[in-house]
């Protein structure tokens, strides 16, 4: 069964920081800007041999229980029920710009009850919760090479979902109060609010949406020991809670540790990462780094 460690080992062995060509994949001038990065991530996560486009879908089908949708999280999930890692892909052009999560609030763990999941995701196999990772790639404008790639355990970036959900629900109550006190017409919506009755001809609708952003890991973790800041290189950083590292199969751990002789690779233990649930607590994580 594939997991994030197997995928990272595969990526490092093949030293691949190049986005795939969209020729032969339906790519055109209308291809969404994030599509090549999505395919890039799915390729190495599924252990697809480099340039093996013909077998791409076969590898995806073998590795993934769920292969994502355009507008709903997550972007992909490994097979394995509660042991199958889930991932969100985020492409950015700036060095340390925020991650645009749109209407999906940050996640530390993926639950079947998490907002925005499609039935096809919830029912793809038997599961209740999964490890959740953000994969963030910086691709400079006009370039097809990834200058930095972060793979970060959601529990190192986000707090519990009920914190975000509580804020959303309280804002929704405030919007509904505003609608009521101003004698506007409330339209049922999963957004913060949607209402009309604004102009005399009643032709206008206002939508109040929650648009979430999350600080980039390049900014959050820039001062950790072992983090590469040389922007002339292509660099992978992967941060995984120590407790999760120990729960992965020994075969998967060995796939990483046996890379110790690879030029540009390092594996270290970081002991002072602030806990997003309570920054006064410090978490221990494994930092996998590879620079090319």
* pLDDT score at 27: 46
Q: Does residue 263 carry a pLDDT above 80?
A: yes
Domain ranges of the chain: 4-157+215-291, 164-208
Nearest CA-CA partner of 134 in 270, 239, 290, 205? 239
Burial of 255 (0-12, 13-18, 19+ CB in 10 A): buried
181/32: higher pLDDT: 181
Least confident range of 32-41, 81-90, 142-151, 240-249: 32-41
* pLDDT score at 223: 92
Give the tens place of pLDDT for each residue, 239-257: 999 999 999 999 999 999 9
The C-alpha angle 248, 152, 112, rounded to 5 degrees, equals 70
**If pLDDT is split at 50, 70 and 90, which confidence band does 32 have?**
low
**If pLDDT is split at 50, 70 and 90, which confidence band does 23 have?**
low
Nearest CA-CA partner of 197 in 185, 207, 210? 185
Output the pTM of the full model: 0.93
Give the tens place of pLDDT for each residue, 172-212: 999 999 999 999 999 999 899 999 999 999 999 999 999 99
Q: Does residue 25 carry a pLDDT above 60?
A: no
Q: Does residue 29 carry a pLDDT above 50?
A: no
Give the tens place of pLDDT for each residue, 78-106: 999 999 999 999 999 887 778 999 889 99
Q: Where are the extended beta strands (E) located within 143-277? A: 146-153, 185-186, 193-196, 205-208, 212-214, 235-241, 265-275
Burial of 80 (0-12, 13-18, 19+ CB in 10 A): middle
* pLDDT score at 34: 79
Q: Does residue 47 carry a pLDDT above 70?
A: yes
Measure the CA–CA gap between 198 and 206, rounded to whole angstroms: 8
Please give the share of the chain, as a percent, with pLDDT higher than 90: 85
Least confident range of 171-175, 226-230, 278-282: 226-230
pLDDT, the chain, mean:
93
Burial of 26 (0-12, 13-18, 19+ CB in 10 A): exposed
């Amino acid at each position: 069964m594939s997991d994030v460690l197997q995928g990272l080992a595969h990526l490092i062995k093949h030293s691949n920081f190049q986005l795939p060509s969209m020729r032969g994949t339906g790519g055109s001038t209308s291809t969404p800007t994030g599509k090549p990065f999505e395919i890039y991530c799915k390729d190495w996560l599924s252990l697809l041999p480099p340039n093996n486009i013909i077998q791409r879908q076969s590898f995806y089908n073998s590795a993934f229980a769920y292969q994502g949708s355009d507008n709903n999280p997550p972007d992909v999930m490994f097979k394995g029920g509660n042991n199958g890692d889930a991932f969100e892909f985020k492409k950015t052009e700036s060095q340390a710009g925020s991650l645009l999560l749109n209407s999906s609030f940050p996640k530390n763990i993926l639950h079947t009850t998490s907002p925005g999941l499609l039935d096809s995701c919830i029912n793809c196999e038997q599961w209740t919760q999964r490890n959740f990772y953000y994969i963030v790639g910086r691709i400079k404008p006009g370039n097809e090479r990834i200058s930095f790639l972060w793979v970060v355990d959601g529990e190192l970036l986000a707090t519990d979902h009920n914190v975000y959900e509580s804020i959303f629900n309280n804002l929704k109550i405030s919007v509904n109060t505003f609608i009521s006190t101003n004698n506007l017409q409330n339209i049922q919506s999963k957004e913060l609010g949607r209402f009309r009755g604004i102009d005399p001809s009643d032709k206008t609708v206002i939508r109040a949406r929650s648009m979430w952003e999350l600080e980039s890991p390049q900014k959050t973790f820039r001062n950790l020991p072992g983090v590469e800041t040389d922007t002339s290189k292509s660099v992978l950083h992967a941060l995984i809670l120590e407790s999760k590292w120990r729960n992965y199969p020994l075969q998967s751990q060995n796939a990483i540790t046996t890379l110790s002789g690879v030029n540009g690779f390092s594996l270290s233990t970081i002991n002072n990462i602030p806990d997003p649930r309570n920054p006064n607590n410090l978490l221990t994580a494994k930092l996998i780094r590879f620079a090319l």
